Structure 1
Amino acid sequence: MKPICQRISRTLEIFVFCAVAVLLTCAPSSAHFSEGTKVRTILVAEDGGDLVAIVRVPAPLVFSDLVGRAQVDQVSLSSPFLRLESTGTGVRYRIDMEAVARDRPGFEDRLLDALVFSQAGLDLTASLTGFTVHARRPQQVLDSLDAAQAAVRGDSTSLDPVFGAAVVDYAVRIESPDPAGDIEIRSGYAPLLPGPGVAIENHLVDARTQPPLSSTAPGQLETPVVLDGSRLSTFLHFIYQGMLHILEGLDHVLLVIALALGVGATRKLIYLVTAFTIGHSVTLIATFLGATPAWPWFIPAVEAAIAASVLYAAVAAMVRKSGSVLIFAGIGLLHGLGFSFVLGDILGRDTPDLVPALLAFNVGIEVGQLLILAVTLSVVFCLEKLATPALRPARLGTLAAIAILSSWWVAERLGGVVSAV
């Protein structure tokens, strides 16, 4: 039995060493907020018995098929509605507003074909009723049919907007046999390849119910999304989004792992996890109530502090000093800001149905947190029972990897703070 345990121990040591190397070379510093996040808003409502949709879309998604083809073929982007200009640092595209005015039907067709609406597996016929081109994303929120229609009735910019910053508001009327029924939405164009640091999100507003229902969907809607008017499915959607965020956020995952390895399955773990939960719940809610400063360095500083909290948890676990309830409540405050940056970037403070979305997102975070704890403690339990000599090197190796990686994040994110000051 002893030789078997020794072999397992040696194998785990090699595995941990390799894991450290992989983490150091492959794991990026993934911040929760990116200036490259592009949000498309789609509001669906009934108007006079007809089904209507108002869309606010970043201009590149209206030309995603052309952009994607140019990226694959490595050629210049070509469209009669775009013009190329030289700048001091290179070249960029602008929307040619004169070309849009000359061929308005052609531009309307491109908008109309950007999204496909369907019910019961059948694509629905739609007609464009208006559009407006903005130089940048408007501050006006599309939280109701009246607000959305007012945005579309506004005047387009008179100057040629920069293609990457321009936003288009447009409205379509959809021929539907059941305006109140489930509706499926998907992209009508092939996807483009987002550049480094660019993420695409969709904010979906179902205004056929009162108050309207909000949900989100990542990507370019190559996979259809369904609006069914169900508050239960919307609540479950945000639980899933909360789970997804903490499981995809490597810094959050590593913090919880370090906490579990430092305290183990003890009563103190319950106290510390509860403190962390209360802390991040407070800042997640407070941020949506406007209790965060607008300083340009604030978000990078929070991201650096989150990385430092992971480093603290790893080092504290290595020296068997797990920290106090107050410390982990403070860490929770930091991570709650990180959670809020992601949700706020998509929904915003003025989104309809905000309170249930916040509650469900927070529940999802807790479910994801419990899953991480359960997996970590289960691995520790199995090692204790099956390969006790391997437990210590596996534990210390994992904590060392977390400490090294989080140190790298701290340095990297502090660079972002300096550049923002």
Structure 2
Amino acid sequence: MKRLLFLLPLLAAVVFSGQVLAHALQPGYLEIKPAGADTFQVLWRKPAVAGKPMAIEAELPQGCDAAREPVPTFDGAAWVAQWTIRCDRGLRGGEVRIRGLEATQTDVLVRYELEPGAAQTRRLTPDDTGFVIPHDPSTIDVIGTYLPLGVEHILGGIDHLLFVFAMLLLIRDGWRLLWAVTAFTVAHSITMAFATLGWLTLPGPPVEAVIALSIMFLASELVQRSERPERLAELYPWTVSFAFGLLHGFGFAGALSEIGLPDTDIPMALFSFNVGVEIGQLAFIAAALAVFYVLGLIAPRLRGLIRSPGSAVALCLAYAIGGIAGFWFVERVFGVVSMSS
């Protein structure tokens, strides 16, 4: 019966993992880049919803001919349309809007070039469906775009948050936890910068598989921990966090490379995105600690069992974390194998 109890979180983990993946929705992507004198090439990717393109349309600046999109085609992941427009007055001062976005729960990334090689990126949401292309994008525009993207990425990155949550469960000393979080931050900042700038790159699918493996390692530490002796991740949390933080940084870089960096202000965009990641991470840690605090007030015994090595509650949490990460690991390894075959 006790073994059956520990199978339940594993089953729930697999179901949860499948639901997270099944309901994941990629953002839309609109790209406008010069193709000649007053001519621009447009690439428009709509998310697929139930096998059909999402009911959103790109409205380009007035004065541009062929501003309405052609019929899109499905490329296996999204609905894509490409066409050429002519804007006699250029793009500066023109308005770009995504009609219908207000009725969705997704975002659209708009990447545009006022001049060849001078790309800028803007994120549109259901609450902010359009913008006027500035004549000269400022530093504030860059921060306002990339900082929210960083927050959104970390809060939507369940694997990164699960790693941080496992560290919170494993490390009971406040100072060790602080050093572990700091080491994780420093490490992923380094590799994210190196990979985004093209100084050091690794293929995305294997990195994602190893990220899942890092969570499985922490889950194993949680299952096997006891009062004494302490596990490796408890004795040297900053070392473990730094090592795995380097890997997680490549994951952050993969997301940032898909968004793209503004060619005119790469350092500020990179810094803003990283600050956004840290704000999101600290917000998650603060929320988790607040839950633990409230739990200590209303159910102190349950909180004690969560933090107690070897208790049934602690083991259930550890198996659930390991089960979710194991599901991701197997799926991502199969993805690597299918890509290489």
- The TM-score normalised by the length of structure 2 is 0.72
Report 1:128-167 matches (<5 A): 128=66, 164=75
Is residue 2:111 matched to residue 1:204? yes
Compared CA separation, residues 264 and 43, structure 1 to 2 (3 A): farther
Compared CA separation, residues 19 and 370, structure 1 to 2 (3 A): farther
How far off its partner does 1:400 sit?
2.7
Q: Does the 8 Å contact 2:31/2:110 carry over to 1?
A: yes
* Structure 1 residue runs of 4 or more that deviate by more than 6 Å after TM superposition: 16-20, 67-70
Q: Spell out, residue by residue over 1:181-237, the C-alpha distance to the aligned partner (whole angstroms, 9 max, x if none).
A: 5x542236899x9xxxxx9853423638xx956224368x89623145442143032
Report 1:345-360 matches (<5 A): 345-347=258-260, 351-360=263-272
3-state secondary structure, aligned to 1:285: helix
Pick from 335, 359, 362: which aligns with 2:248?
Answer: 335
The two structures, once aligned, show a CA RMSD in angstroms of 4.4
- Percent identical pairs in the alignment equals 24
Partner residue of 2:131? 226
3-state secondary structure, aligned to 1:378: helix
Query: Residues of 1 paired with 2:181 and 2:194: CA distance?
Result: 20
Pick from 69, 84, 87: which aligns with 1:170?
Answer: 84
How far off its partner does 1:331 sit?
0.5
Query: Residues of 1 paired with 2:88 and 2:64: CA distance?
Result: 4
How far off its partner does 1:170 sit?
2.0
Pick from 56, 60, 64: which aligns with 1:126?
Answer: 64
Compared CA separation, residues 174 and 253, structure 1 to 2 (3 A): farther
Partner residue of 1:366? 278
Report 1:287-302 matches (<5 A): 287-293=195-201, 298-302=203-207
Q: Spell out, residue by residue over 1:264-319, the C-alpha distance to the aligned partner (whole angstroms, 9 max, x if none).
A: 4611111111111111111111112223457xxx3221111000111122332441
Query: Residues of 1 paired with 2:50 and 2:281: CA distance?
Result: 41
Q: Does the 8 Å contact 1:30/1:249 carry over to 2?
A: no
Q: Does the 8 Å contact 2:59/2:99 carry over to 1?
A: yes
Q: Does the 8 Å contact 1:255/1:314 carry over to 2?
A: no
Query: Residues of 2 paired with 1:413 and 1:402: CA distance?
Result: 17
Moved more, 331-340 or 411-420: 411-420
Partner residue of 2:186? 278
Moved more, 393-402 or 324-333: 393-402
Pick from 19, 25, 34: which aligns with 2:15?
Answer: 25
Structure of greater Rg = 1
Is residue 2:316 matched to residue 1:326? no
Is residue 2:183 matched to residue 1:241? no
Query: Residues of 1 paired with 2:206 and 2:325: CA distance?
Result: 15
Query: Residues of 2 paired with 1:406 and 1:170: CA distance?
Result: 44
Residue 285 of structure 2 aligns with an amino acid whose one-letter code is L
Partner residue of 1:54? 40
How many residues of Structure 1 are paired with residues of Structure 2 in the alignment?
304
Query: Residues of 1 paired with 2:150 and 2:8: CA distance?
Result: 30
Residue 127 of structure 1 aligns with an amino acid whose one-letter code is D
Partner residue of 1:399? 318
Residue 379 of structure 1 aligns with an amino acid whose one-letter code is V
Compared CA separation, residues 69 and 252, structure 1 to 2 (3 A): closer
Partner residue of 2:299? 387
Partner residue of 1:409? 328
Query: Residues of 2 paired with 1:230 and 1:337: CA distance?
Result: 28
Query: Residues of 2 paired with 1:328 and 1:164: CA distance?
Result: 39
3-state secondary structure, aligned to 2:331: helix
Partner residue of 1:314? 219
Query: Residues of 1 paired with 2:328 and 2:210: CA distance?
Result: 10
Q: Does the 8 Å contact 2:196/2:256 carry over to 1?
A: no
Query: Residues of 2 paired with 1:384 and 1:258: CA distance?
Result: 19
3-state secondary structure, aligned to 2:217: helix
Report 1:171-186 matches (<5 A): 171-173=85-87, 181=93, 183-186=94-97
Query: Residues of 2 paired with 1:21 and 1:184: CA distance?
Result: 49
Query: Residues of 2 paired with 1:170 and 1:69: CA distance?
Result: 29
Compared CA separation, residues 363 and 222, structure 1 to 2 (3 A): closer
